[in-house]
Amino acid sequence: MTSPAHAATSARTGSQILDGMIGHAPAMAEVYRLTHQVAATPATVLLLGETGTGKELVARALHELSTRSSGPFIRVNCGALSESLLESELFGHVKGAFTNAFENRTGRFEAAHGGTIFLDEINSMSFTLQVKLLRVLQEQEFERVGDSKTIRVDCRIVAATNRDLTDEIEAGRFREDLYYRLNVVPIYLPPLRERVDDIPLLVQYFTKRYAAAMGRTIPKISDDVFTLLKSYAWPGNVRELQNYVERSLVLCSNELITPDLYPPHTRGLAPIRLGRAKGGSLQTMCSELVTLGITEAGEDSSEVHERVVSLVERELILQVLRTCQGIQTKAATRLGINRNTLHKKIEDYHLEGEAR
């Protein structure tokens, strides 16, 4: 999604406005309302939602709408760095603290003093760093790596995760006490599949944006495009939609955007790749096919063909579901079919136990 600074469109729900956010779905209206309500307070906020749903946009809005808006907004992707690098990144280090520490370095918490620090993918943080973060939340102080001098900071913490932290706690990967400190005000950002009526607004916005960037006339969009995009599962959410809109403009040779300009898998035409369906037993499937060919040799060939196709389809869906850990949205995308279609096939083949 776009950043607030470059957004030309705002989403309105009554008097509520968030720059850079697009959509009028009820779930988004709640996001706007909560963001406005919480922004003026010093409360810690936990943003929940899948990748590509716009968590950073909300974090920036919380900063811009707060009394800290004149201070810095510092973003840290906790999942992009190793434990040692992330510790130095967050808290800084002193000269000689470790190999290649040739000079003192200010950490992100110090840099965020008087402003907001946004900790993305907080679920990726190690247990050791979770303890240090808990201290910052409780005492607003820490030490740089390799130093004994305590540094006090005044910054608001906004964290984000695309995982269910209660599951992470049960798995022993996340501290329960830290979770409660972070989860003062949770804001859930809905996936795009839960607000499909916003898709036309998003497509039109991104189409105008990329047309302007390419210096070309804004093309018209076929109604079939909106029908197509509303039926797709969007595992990558708004970020995925944005990329495909840009692709459609790059490939468009006239002034009309049509469905064929979108990737085959969004149209249910992507070839199914057996190599990606790991976790199941293709050998078992082949054995069953041989058995079927022997025992059913006397049947009508079309009937045998039907049964073979069903057997192969069931086994393939089973394997993909296992690969995707039962997540139907991902499985549907990988199979190149609509999520509703997959759901029906899961029922037909009695695979409910493999899908959560």
- 183 and 220 part of one domain: no
Res 28: pLDDT: 93
As for how many domains the chain has, the answer is: 3
The parent domain of residue 299 ranges over 274-354
Residue 152: its H or E element: strand 150-152
Is a pLDDT exceeding 70 seen at residue 209?
Answer: yes
- 262 and 304 part of one domain: no
- 123 and 28 part of one domain: yes
| CATH number for 87 | 3.40.50.300
| CATH number for 302 | 1.10.10.60
Res 55: pLDDT: 95
- 228 and 246 part of one domain: yes
Query: Residue range 312-324: average pLDDT?
Result: 82
Report the alpha-carbon distance of residue 199 to residue 189 in Å, rounded. Answer: 15
Residues of the chain with pLDDT > 90: what percent? 54
- 341 and 198 part of one domain: no
Confidence band for 311, pLDDT divided at 50, 70 and 90: confident
Res 2: pLDDT: 41
Is a pLDDT exceeding 60 seen at residue 288?
Answer: no
Q: What is the dihedral angle through the alpha carbons of 114, 120, 123, 128, rounded to the nearest 10 degrees?
A: -40
Confidence band for 99, pLDDT divided at 50, 70 and 90: low
- 14 and 69 part of one domain: yes
- 114 and 95 part of one domain: yes
The domain boundary residue, chosen from 190, 210, 228: 190
Query: What's at 76, amino acid-wise?
Result: V
| CATH number for 230 | 1.10.8.60
Query: Residue range 13-34: average pLDDT?
Result: 79
Confidence band for 299, pLDDT divided at 50, 70 and 90: low
295 C-beta neighbours (distance < 10 Å), count: 10
Q: Tokens 């495909």: give the residue.
A: 244
- 38 and 109 part of one domain: yes
Candidates 79, 142, 77; CA nearest to 109 is 142
Contacts of 168 (CB under 8 A, 6+ apart): 123, 174
The domain boundary residue, chosen from 222, 240, 267: 267
pTM score, two decimals?
0.71
With b meaning 16 or more CB within 10 Å and e meaning fewer, what string describes 144-178?
bbebeeebebebbbbbbbbbebeebeeeebbbeeb
**Contact indicator for 240, 206 with CB cutoff of 8 Å:** no
Query: What's at 318, amino acid-wise?
Result: L
**Contact indicator for 84, 98 with CB cutoff of 8 Å:** yes
14 φψ region: left (φ > 0), alpha (ψ -120 to 50), beta (else): left
- 246 and 316 part of one domain: no
Handedness of CA 250, 251, 257, 262 (dihedral sign): negative
Report the alpha-carbon distance of residue 164 to residue 187 in Å, rounded. Answer: 13
More confident of the two residues 239 and 352: 239
Alpha carbon distance, N-terminus to C-terminus of the chain: 29
pLDDT in tens, 224-282: 999 999 999 898 999 999 999 999 999 998 999 999 999 988 887 754 444 444 444 44
Query: What's at 275, amino acid-wise?
Result: G
Res 301: pLDDT: 56
**Contact indicator for 55, 189 with CB cutoff of 8 Å:** yes
Report the alpha-carbon distance of residue 115 to residue 117 in Å, rounded. Answer: 7
- 186 and 200 part of one domain: no
273 C-beta neighbours (distance < 10 Å), count: 11
Contacts of 212 (CB under 8 A, 6+ apart): 218
Report the alpha-carbon distance of residue 40 to residue 62 in Å, rounded. Answer: 8
Is a pLDDT exceeding 50 seen at residue 128?
Answer: yes
Is a pLDDT exceeding 80 seen at residue 339?
Answer: no
The domain boundary residue, chosen from 267, 286, 317: 267
- 18 and 137 part of one domain: yes
pLDDT in tens, 33-82: 999 999 999 999 999 999 999 999 999 999 999 999 999 999 999 988 88
Comparing 124-128, 189-193, 236-240, 281-285, the range with the smallest average pLDDT is 281-285
Res 270: pLDDT: 58
Comparing 3-12, 156-165, 311-320, 337-346, the range with the smallest average pLDDT is 3-12
Res 16: pLDDT: 65
- 126 and 11 part of one domain: yes
Res 248: pLDDT: 95
More confident of the two residues 74 and 14: 74
pLDDT in tens, 156-165: 999 999 999 9
How is residue 66 written in tokens? 């707060």
How is residue 345 written in tokens? 């096939």
Helices marked H in 197-338: 199-214, 223-231, 237-251, 282-295, 301-323, 328-335
Confidence band for 103, pLDDT divided at 50, 70 and 90: confident
